[in-house]
Amino acid sequence: MAFSGLRIYWEAYGCAANMADAEIALGILRNRGHEIVSRPEDADVIVIFTCVVKKPTSDRMLYRISRLRGLGKRLVIAGCMPTGEPRRIKLVAPDAVMLGPRAITRIWEAVERGVSILEEADDVKLGCPRVRRNPVIAIVPVSEGCAWRLCSFCIVARTRGSFRSYPLELVVREVRRFVEEGAMEIWLTSQDMGSYGIESGKSMLPELLKTVSSIKGRFFIRVGMMNPLYVYSVKGRLAEAYLSPRIFKFLHLPVQSGSNRVLRDMRRGYTVEVFKKIVEEFRSRMPELTLSTDIIVGYPTEDMEDFEETIKLVEEVRPDMINISRFFARPGTPSEKLRPLDPRLVNERSRILSDVARRIALENGERWIGWSGYALVDEIGERGEPIARNIYYRPIVVKNMRGDEVFGKIIEVEVEDARPYCLMARLKRIVSAEEAWEAIIVP
């Protein structure tokens, strides 16, 4: 097999950081003369970027790996599975090449030479060539690894390695590069945005957001998930930074449980009251803030009273989106040693919480009926429909239109209906970039 001119097929799963890794890997491979193809049957080498944060996801990864291995091509397994569950990979694909997430800049060695690299490299991913999946969206990692590393249920601390924040000037340079390339939506991402700059003794996320939002250009900023533990001490300055007209009023703040007892057992490092105070701080400045949170149902020490406290918290705080996960023990984590709850009980609690979350999401969405304003079309749905986001990062499906007609444009819409997790709107008009940015962004 030649070391250049190979045909590469790829698939990527999981978080925004994993998607950024995939884009970087493809950029490096393309720069070395390799061709990206759209069908695995046409490839010389297949690369799959895996996710193992949840056991059902990990199981799907193994199924996909086994199917791809059957094609008889060189198979490179990247993402979190090589460092998180290498033995499971070996069971279904003993001849696969494995590449850890901290060695992604060495993707060419895995593809061209068949070399597995699992040790933690000290490479900086910023500034690398990219093949962006979405020309409207650019993903910018601001750190690597997990600073907290104590959560009893989480495998990511082990898969992603030690914590490191990237220098602010490198992040700024990366954002400028993508804005100059035409990106209109910048996703700042990491395993935990709240811990950015924590090496200094406190979160430097407010300073990061203020600096990035001062960059000239026509773009919006989406801030990724942040641990309440690191956000609490800077919540006032962070909420102030969010007031920039460039930053989506979207807060992804995982609570994981409404019970302080369960949070203690999970080793999360904060209380329900801390979570609620952060939300209150943000909503006092941005009443229409879109709040997303994560909840684990059926942690081994969760009893019925704990679960009822979670329902109570959800009813009180009324998040717009909840990522609900049933507990499954992950290998090498402290919770793996705990006796799991009856799966039927966990499934029932998950169903109850899902019903509550769906009802609240719909009720929250119905408040937007009649709203008119600007939104950026950043996605085309599965049926070809345009999906836009307003400044509150509300997903807005534009009715009776093809996505390719308005993709990458700022439009004015009127919301006519609501679904639990999106708004339905009619197009009023397509807005020129000049008009939109004069109205939205102060030069």
Contact 228/278 with Cβ under 8 angstroms? Answer: yes
Structural tokens at position 48: 């799959």
Structural tokens at position 77: 């397994």
C-alpha distance from residue 339 to each of 343, 379, 436 (Å):
12, 42, 56
270: left (phi over 0), alpha (psi -120 to 50) or beta: beta
C-alpha distance from residue 13 to each of 34, 79, 207 (Å):
22, 8, 31
Q: Which H or E run contains 428?
A: strand 422-431
User: Alpha-carbon distance 272 to 257, whole Å?
Assistant: 8
Nearest CA to 50 out of 100, 24, 14 is that of 14
Q: What is the pTM of this model?
A: 0.95
Nearest CA to 22 out of 173, 186, 141, 154 is that of 141
- For position 2, what pLDDT does the model report? 45
Distance of CA 209 to the CA centre of its chain: 17
User: Alpha-carbon distance 407 to 136, whole Å?
Assistant: 8
Q: Which domains does the chain have, with CATH numbers?
A: 7-113 (3.40.50.12160), 137-366 (3.80.30.20), 372-440 (2.40.50.140)
Mind listing the pLDDT tens digit of every residue in the chain (443 residues)?
445 699 999 999 999 999 999 999 999 999 999 999 999 999 999 999 999 999 999 999 999 999 999 999 999 999 999 999 999 999 999 999 999 999 999 999 999 999 999 988 777 899 999 999 999 999 999 999 999 999 999 998 889 888 999 999 999 999 999 999 999 999 999 999 999 999 999 999 999 999 999 999 999 999 999 999 999 999 999 999 999 999 999 999 999 999 999 999 999 999 999 999 999 999 999 999 999 999 999 999 999 999 999 999 999 999 999 999 999 999 999 999 999 999 999 999 999 999 999 999 999 999 999 999 999 999 999 999 999 999 999 999 999 999 999 999 999 999 999 999 999 999 999 998 888 888 776 43
- For position 3, what pLDDT does the model report? 55
Q: Show Cβ contacts of residue 101 under 8 Å, excluding neighbours closer than 6 positions.
A: 17, 18, 21, 78, 79, 80, 83, 159, 160, 161
- For position 413, what pLDDT does the model report? 97
DSSP code at position 197: T
Contact 29/111 with Cβ under 8 angstroms? Answer: yes
User: Alpha-carbon distance 327 to 258, whole Å?
Assistant: 15
Contact 140/174 with Cβ under 8 angstroms? Answer: yes
Q: Which H or E run contains 231?
A: helix 228-231
User: Alpha-carbon distance 344 to 362, whole Å?
Assistant: 27
Nearest CA to 140 out of 214, 201, 216, 224 is that of 224
User: Alpha-carbon distance 193 to 134, whole Å?
Assistant: 22
